[in-house]
Amino acid sequence: MTESYYDVLGVSRDADESEIKQAYRQQVKKYHPDVSDEPDAEEQFKKLQQAKEVLTDDEKRQAYDQLGHERFTQAEKRGGFDQDGGAGGMGGAGGPFGGQGGAGGMNDIFDQFFGGMGGQGRGGPQPGQDLRTRLSIDLEDAYEGVEKQVTIRRPEACPDCGGSGHPEDADVRTCPECNGQGQTTRTQQTPLGRVQQTQTCRRCGGDGELYSENCSTCSGQGEVERDATLTVNVPAGIRSGQTLRMDGEGAPGDRRAPNGDLLIEVDVDDHPDFERDGDDLHHRHAISFPQATFGDTIEVPTVTGSAEFDLPGGTQSGERFRLQGKGMPHLRGRGHGDLYVTVQVVTPDSLNEEQRDALEAFAEAGGEEIDVDQGFFEKLRSSF
């Protein structure tokens, strides 16, 4: 699927340089290979750099808008837009695109690509649009990886006419607009010279033929809206906000053009026991005053079950402990994050007589005269 540089940066075709640079900075934060977990981050980062380079250069951008994405990239592969006019590039004496003053050289390029190569530029068969949907999963699914089904409504090739837009027995005649070529050519005067631009014929849609009757199911459009249920493979370690791509599952393109893709944004639901920070998990765990004082082996939950660790004596309320490798798996990588357990000392709401006597003895041994019924636990709580 051909994606224009404007689409790569997510800006409109009339965006100014400041908007383009701002969009580039925002996208780089998401796709820079050093910080991104996106599976296609490196490829997308290269696209962003190419798009910014072209769209912030006035002359390259003008050529790009005139030639279209495919023609422009082909031109660069043939030698590039050499600003110094070096051999093998598109430069030459008198201007960055060759010719006297630049205009003649650019016109030659346009004639070569639009006239000599018979291409379609941006007017050719267009690939289908990408479609978007959302998928919610729980933390356990994100930990293990899971297959999920999503149902989307999308255009599909009409089942009755096979996407042709007409019955098989319809009468056919040559399109008078394009004389059966499927393309029309118009000449346009630009600041860089006269340009021949070839476009898909609007009357016949590029078929070169017209039909006496349209398909009654799709009214000649060749497409119908239908629900499609697809199975999505969600990888272990995925995070909220990350996007999965299913190639070719978007809207259909023009005839002889590829379908778009389906982009699935994943939401990982909150969990009652854990807070997630990247691939690390955080858990708050209640312990008793004796456990904090004397130490104990305590059991804490993990995503897959439970784990034990030794709580040292003299632990303070709010102290944090690290259980290495008990967090979320690294997306498409080896190993796991960590589980951090923050303990909180919890005092009982009521005491029996034996417990009260023991705590009064504890207070007296510390040199404090405290009435257990009148604020011992309030002081205990505040001390932590």
CA nearest to 182, candidates 207, 199, 162, 158: 207
- Beta carbons of 31 and 90 less than 8 angstroms apart: no
> Looking at the DSSP assignment, which residues form a beta bridge with residue 190?
193
Report how far residue 285's alpha carbon sits from residue 362's, in angstroms, rounded to the nearest whole number: 25
Residue 236 in contact with residue 329, Cβ under 8 Å?
A: yes
**Taking a C-beta distance cutoff of 8 angstroms, is the pair 156, 287 a contact?**
no
First to last CA, the chain: 61
pLDDT tops 80 at residue 92:
no
Task: Please provide the CATH number assigned to the domain covering 280-346.
Answer: 2.60.260.20
pLDDT band, residue 383 (cuts 50/70/90)? very low
Domain spans of the chain, in order of start: 5-116, 280-346, 348-384
**CA quadruple 254, 256, 257, 263: dihedral sign:** positive
Overall average pLDDT of the 375-379 stretch: 47
- Specify burial of residue 255 (Cβ count, 10 A radius: 0-12, 13-18, 19+): middle
Provide CATH code, domain 5-116: 1.10.287.110
Predicted pLDDT of residue 240: 92
Task: Give the tens place of pLDDT for each residue, 48-82.
Answer: 888 898 999 888 888 888 778 877 887 776 655 44
Q: What is the pLDDT of residues 247-278, one digit of tens each?
A: 989 888 776 678 889 999 999 999 999 999 99
Indicate the pLDDT class of residue 281, thresholds 50, 70 and 90.
very high
Asked whether residue 344 carries a pLDDT value surpassing 90, the answer given is: yes
Span 203-212, pLDDT tens digits: 777 778 888 8
Task: Indicate whether 31 pLDDT > 50.
Answer: yes
What tokens does 260 get?
């778009």
| Measured CA distances, 172 to 166, 175, 213 (Å) | 10, 9, 9
**What does pTM read for this prediction?**
0.54
pLDDT at 94 over 70: no
Q: How many residues does the chain have?
A: 384
Judge whether residue 2 has pLDDT over 80.
no
Could you check whether 5-116 and 280-346 share the same CATH topology?
A: no
CA distance 271 to 359: 37
Over range 4-29, report the average pLDDT: 85
Asked if the model's pLDDT at residue 101 lies above 60, the reply is: no
Predicted local distance difference test score (pLDDT) of residue 80:
53
Answer yes or no: is pLDDT of 30 > 90: no
